[in-house]
């Protein structure tokens, strides 16, 4: 098994902006948010693309987790539109695997930035989370 993905390896995931993936779907009672593609969902798609690149590196019992996110969301995408999120592996710094990420709709780029992920033992992660109760 390789220690790193291939330099420049890229994955793109695509989907549709459904009601449950809009900013409005995140609004609490009394709040008003727009019915356009929500930033948390764009970032989640970017994270999933990064995780897909790391998946072949995982040993049994390991998972990849988000460690750093530096992303801008600079254009709205309407309900029903197709969006894609891409990740390109750019290198490793210690335990962090860095990715260039971007998202697009039919009119062009809607967001971009970089994300770092780490590979950790899942059991250790869950145990550590439990200590935070």
* Band of residue 104 on the pLDDT scale cut at 50, 70, 90: very high
* Band of residue 3 on the pLDDT scale cut at 50, 70, 90: confident
Annotated domain spans of the chain: 10-130
Task: Specify the pLDDT at position 11.
Answer: 98
- pLDDT tens sequence across 41-91: 999 999 999 999 999 999 999 999 999 999 999 999 999 999 999 999 999
Task: Specify the pLDDT at position 8.
Answer: 94
DSSP the chain: --SSPPTT-EEEEEEE--GGGBGGGGPPTT----SBB-HHHHHHHHHHHHHHHHGGGPPTTEEEEEEEEEEEE-S--BTT-EEEEEEEEEEEETTEEEEEEEEEETTEEEEEEEEEEEEEEHHHHHHHHHTT-
For residue 2, pLDDT over 70 is answered with: no
68 close to 115: Cβ distance less than 8 angstroms: yes
Task: Specify the pLDDT at position 23.
Answer: 97
In this prediction, what percent of the chain has a pLDDT beyond 90? 98
Question: In the predicted model, what is the mean pLDDT of residues 10-15?
Answer: 98
Task: Specify the pLDDT at position 9.
Answer: 97
For the entire predicted model, the pTM comes to 0.94
Could you tell me the fold of the domain covering 10-130? Thiol Ester Dehydrase; Chain A (3.10.129)
Mean pLDDT of the chain: 96
């Amino acid at each position: 098994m390789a220690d790193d993905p291939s330099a420049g390896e890229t994955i793109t995931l695509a989907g549709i902006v459904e009601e449950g993936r809009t900013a409005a779907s995140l609004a609490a009672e009394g709040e008003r948010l727009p019915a356009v593609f929500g930033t948390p969902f764009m970032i989640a798609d970017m994270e999933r693309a990064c995780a897909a690149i790391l998946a072949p590196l995982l040993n049994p019992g390991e998972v990849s987790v988000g460690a750093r996110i530096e992303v801008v969301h600079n254009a709205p995408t309407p309900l029903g539109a197709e969006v894609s999120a891409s990740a390109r592996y750019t290198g490793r710094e210690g335990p962090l695997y860095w990715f260039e990420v971007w998202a697009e709709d039919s009119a062009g780029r809607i967001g971009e930035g970089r994300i770092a992920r780490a590979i950790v033992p899942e059991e250790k992660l869950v145990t550590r989370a439990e200590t935070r109760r």
